[in-house]
Amino acid sequence: MSIPDFGLGTFRLKGQTVIDSVRDALDVGYRAIDTAQIYDNEADIGRAIAESGVSRDELFLTTKIWIDNLGRDALIPSLKASLDRLRTDRVDLTLIHWPSPGGAVPLADTLEALAEARAQGLTQQIGVSNFTIDLLGQAIDITGAGSIATNQVEISPYLQNRKLAAYAQAQGIRLTSYMTLAFGKALQDEVIRDIAAKHGATPAQVVLAWALRHGWAVIPSSTKRTNLQGNLKARDLRLDDADLARIAALDRNERLANPDGLAPAWD
């Protein structure tokens, strides 16, 4: 199954908040949900899905392996625990959440364990997150061309990650954009708001449409049903070349996800 263009992000959402977000998202038409072991919300998401009545076969579930579980002996047991929390026998995509800090766990060990998880049917596809060009190249060398389904990275109008995007495209790897709205900062941008007014759209729809136009998958989150519903309409918004040029000019290499001890040497 190819990675859906549009999914629901669940970073920082827990308990009843994430249950309600997933429930509303499924109700208005979302069928892809992105989570991670470190989000501590897999069990809540599993409950929301179970109570939604939506068939598992209609869904595309993504989870991410935390750095503590990247070792060859730890990865598969940790993924099985994630599946138990999600109340499913498999996920559609499993990612390395962050590269092992300082290379403490060899990348080959992690990717070989991921490949074994795929062979066992625990995950349909495998991929990476927060990988640089160098790390992505290493992953391709280890797994072979075509094995890495996506690299999930921060991309927003203020961090357009052009070098990485060009490299991934050349390798046939699709990027998944997170923090696409720059934690809401992009929604207040005068350029974005002007383009939104021109099209009779919301600023969020403009930014998401921009990302989709570049071929990236997006996973915005929201706790408001109206915003969840509105964000989906970005799929129908067609920005013109002038709009794209104005957004391109907003790039200023402003990175929001750059945790000490985790972040690699970015491109």
Q: Which two tokens stand for residue 153?
A: 């990275």
User: Sign of dihedral through CA atoms 245, 150, 83, 36?
Assistant: negative
Marked catalytic residue, from 30, 39, 167, 178: 39
Q: What share of the chain is helix, strand, coil (3-state, %, to 5)?
A: 50, 15, 35
Residue type at 109? D
Going by C-alpha positions, the residue among 253, 256, 167, 177 that lies closest to residue 214 is 177
53 torsion bin: left (phi>0), alpha (psi -120 to 50), beta (else): left
- Contacting residues for 234 by C-beta, under 8 A, at least 6 apart: 6, 201, 204, 205, 206, 207, 208, 209, 212, 218
Tell me: is residue 97 an annotated ligand-binding position: yes
Distances (CA, A) of 177 to 23, 181, 194, 211: 23, 10, 23, 8
Q: In the Cβ-directed half-sphere of 217, how many Cα atoms lie within 13 Å?
A: 23
Q: Token pair for residue 266?
A: 């970015």
Residue 39 falls in the annotated catalytic set? yes
- Cα-flanking dihedrals φ and ψ of residue 152, to 5°? -90, 115
Residues marked as catalytic: 39
| Residues that constitute the known binding site for substrate | 97
